[in-house]
Structure 1
């Protein structure tokens, strides 16, 4: 007998057996196709589940799940405090968490031009930690590493800058499939492009995942249940993913229709969250079902090299956020105020989401104040495209566009060693639409087919 206690937001998926046939869970695979992650406890198999977050699980000696009981439930219980009190509580708590997670270790900090890693940089600087920072930009894309370099310089951190090249995935895809178990598509973890460089950087990662969800509002506070459902569906459904899921559902002759099935699943999960404030409820939903089953999956890439820590995943921070009034979270107020309070120099560096403005001027990111930047940016991108240099904005553009990428992709889509459990006419239909109709709309579907092909091969090799 074994007892397993899962965190509020688990870093790793933990699996257990259940009494059911050892068959592919085709309904779950359709959902994965539509939204990019497996829902709730679903896995590829009917007789296997992932352990729920924030629960105590009893597992027998044969690995079968006997029972699960929650030890924490997401709630919204706003404290009657001032904004300054919440800010000071956050500052103390966040710095305590980072200090505990990185004590006596050389920290590896991935930096971006956003707020989450910048907030970590402020805390690490405040605590006097030894930090090796790094960042990367797309080849032909926005030079995100430029802002990261400014942040690192202001904190006196060591810094390395990387450029993610085209087609970086193909010579690493088999390794990535083993690392993430094919529970997430392969085009998002850019860190695979610099996988070997992690060896010389430091001792422990401090990763900034999920700060943007915890420390921002999700929606209006007073939505109806139907509006909440529609909002969640809008947030999680991937372009082209539902179309592919419907094709698979019909081909596999599953009961009912896919869209009704997905709506029912999401509606049922939302009904279990006893929170009236819609923003807090959507945050809880995302933290219970999205973070553990999508965000956490590719954390394994970092952990393959060094131990990982995630301050925004910390149980204490999740409990704290349940007590913060939603009005204090609007427009990332707490993180912005914390950065201004602790390190005004970092607050003066451009906020990528509101470029070219910073944390003192971001409210000017509207017409007419942002027109000069928008015009110059558009002219610059147009000038580059005139000379045949495509402006890269998305990971998949590095992997799927161009003749060389197409040839390598086809190896995985049409070789029977790989994608043999999906009819070829469905694969060709999706790929034709990706190439000739709307690449942005169908990119997720192509990425999912690639993931399923590697999953299928992994089962044949067992």
Structure 2
């Protein structure tokens, strides 16, 4: 026998065989259809498992998984320290981890208008590494790359801005299927549009994934025990996802009801997290579930270009989070206090609170933000009239328009795919996307495309 220890939050998923029938795991696939990610160790197959994070895994002589035991248990053990002490610990730890992870390599830094990559930029600004920053935005969308460029200029980084082109995925969709193994739906990984350009850089990626969850409330203030499951359902179920999963469940003649099964799975996973504080418990659940099965899966695209480093994924960062009082983590307090130590960086627009910055974002409410909102509403409506609609969602680039529609139908309407998902189900949700509510049914449409690619590349292999 042999064993393998997984990090608290792995940067790469590992799939192994286990002793079970080689059959499709239809119930797990229904959860994937509803949420966009698998739960726990689920995969498409009953005899395949994704190694759980923070576990010691035992294998038999044939490399089949036979047992998994947690070596790490999420906890909430807040230290009796001041906010200033917590801030110092955070900055020192963040700097130490970043420095260790990137070493002396050139750094490739994806920048956004948010706080996570901006925090990385502030740390990297004070190191000796060469930094190549980049960002991307939608044509016709909010020019987030302009915020990123300002951050890069303040920090003295080289910077490239990219536009995510309409229908960018169709030329690379088969490559993406091989990269992410169809464990993530296809309209979110915008970096796939610039993968060729990213491969031209030199160095190691420093990625800011999951900082926004670790350094914020896990649940809204005042939430009580009975509200946890409804909250998680609201967070996890994508628009149209429940309806789509229930349709698959019924057509695959599965026992019971999908929603009942889904809730039981959430309850079972949540019960393993022995934390009384609800905010901390929900954060732990989010991290062990969709950080692990959704966020991590999409890291594979960066890994296809260069090695990656993730300061927020480091075991020490997770342990640190478990010891910090919730009131210090809430509302991004630690990150904001860190960034406000640099006056130039703190004055740059915070995308989530645009047009305000870290010094005045508390004014992002009526009547203070009314002029901005009115002006941009008029601007969007004018651009739509002249044929330049405002783009704010990934699927709008990928599914809208005659050419995109032609590509989409080529993948989801074919006889081989009908063997997995009935043609009637595909027609129902495609027609709802086209004729009823494009936004609401964009997720089921994206999942249909994901399943079609999985069926093409992996089902019969």
The TM-score, its normalising length taken from structure 1, stands at 0.98
Q: Look up the match of 1:157.
A: 157
Q: Distance in 2 between matches of 1:419 and 1:439?
A: 23
Q: By how many angstroms is 1:223 displaced?
A: 3.5
Shift of 1:222: 5.4
2-structure distance, mates of 1:127, 1:79: 30
Task: Map 1:3-22; keep pairs closer than 5 Å.
Answer: 3-22=3-22
**Equivalent residue for 1:427?**
426
Structure 1: distance between partners of 2:49 and 2:162: 38
What's the counterpart of residue 355 of structure 2?
A: 356
Does the C-alpha gap of structure 1 residues 267 and 460 become closer, same or farther in structure 2, counting only changes over 3 Å? closer
Q: Quick one: distance in 2 between partners of 1:447 and 1:203? A: 33
Deviates more, 1:451-460 or 1:160-169: 451-460
Superposed CA offset, 1:42-90 (max 9, x none): 0000111111110111112322112212111111111100000000000
Change (3 A) 1:305 1:419: farther
Q: Give the 3 Å change call, closer, same or farther, for CA 222–62 of structure 1 in structure 2.
A: farther
Q: Which moved more, 1:387-396 or 1:114-123?
A: 387-396
5 Å-filtered alignment, 1:266-345, equals 266-341=266-341, 343-345=342-344
Unaligned runs of 5+ in 2: none
Runs of 4+ in 1 over 6 A off after TM superposition: none
5+ unaligned residues in a row in structure 1: which ranges? none
Name the counterpart of 1:134. Answer: 134
| Structure-2 residue corresponding to 1:99 | 99
Q: Partners in 1 of 2:460 and 2:264 — Cα distance?
A: 36
Q: CA deviation at 1:221?
A: 5.4
Secondary structure (helix, strand or coil) at the match of 1:440 reads: coil
In the alignment, is residue 174 of structure 1 matched against residue 174 of structure 2? yes
Quote the residue 1:210 is aligned against: 210
1:7 alignment partner, SS class: coil
* Pair 1:65 & 2:65 matched: yes
Report the CA distance between 1:200 and its aligned residue. Answer: 2.2
RMSD between aligned residues: 1.1
Give the CA deviation at 1:418.
Answer: 4.0
2:49 is paired with a residue of what secondary structure?
strand
Mapped partners of 1:200, 1:159: distance in 2: 14
Give 1:329 shift. 1.5
- How far apart, CA to CA, are the structure 2 residues paired with 1:137 and 1:459? 32
Tell me how far 1:224 sits from its aligned partner: 3.4
Deviations 1:102-155 (A, max 9, x none): 011000000000000000000000223210000001011110100000000000
Aligned residue for 2:415, secondary structure, equals coil
Residue 267 of structure 1: how far off its partner (Å): 1.1
Which digits, 9 at most, give the CA deviation of each residue in 1:178-237, with x for residues without a partner? 000000001110001001001222210000100000000022455333311111111110
> Does structure 1 conserve the Cα–Cα contact (< 8 Å) formed by 2:312 and 2:318?
yes
| Alignment match, 2:198 | 198
2:446 is matched with which residue? 447
Match of 1:263 in 2: 263
Distance, in Å, in 1 between the alignment partners of 2:435 and 2:66 is 51
Matched positions, count:
461
State the SS of the aligned residue for 2:199: helix
What is aligned with 1:376?
375
**Displacement after TM superposition at 1:388 (Å):** 1.6
Q: Scaled by the length of structure 2, what TM-score is found? A: 0.98
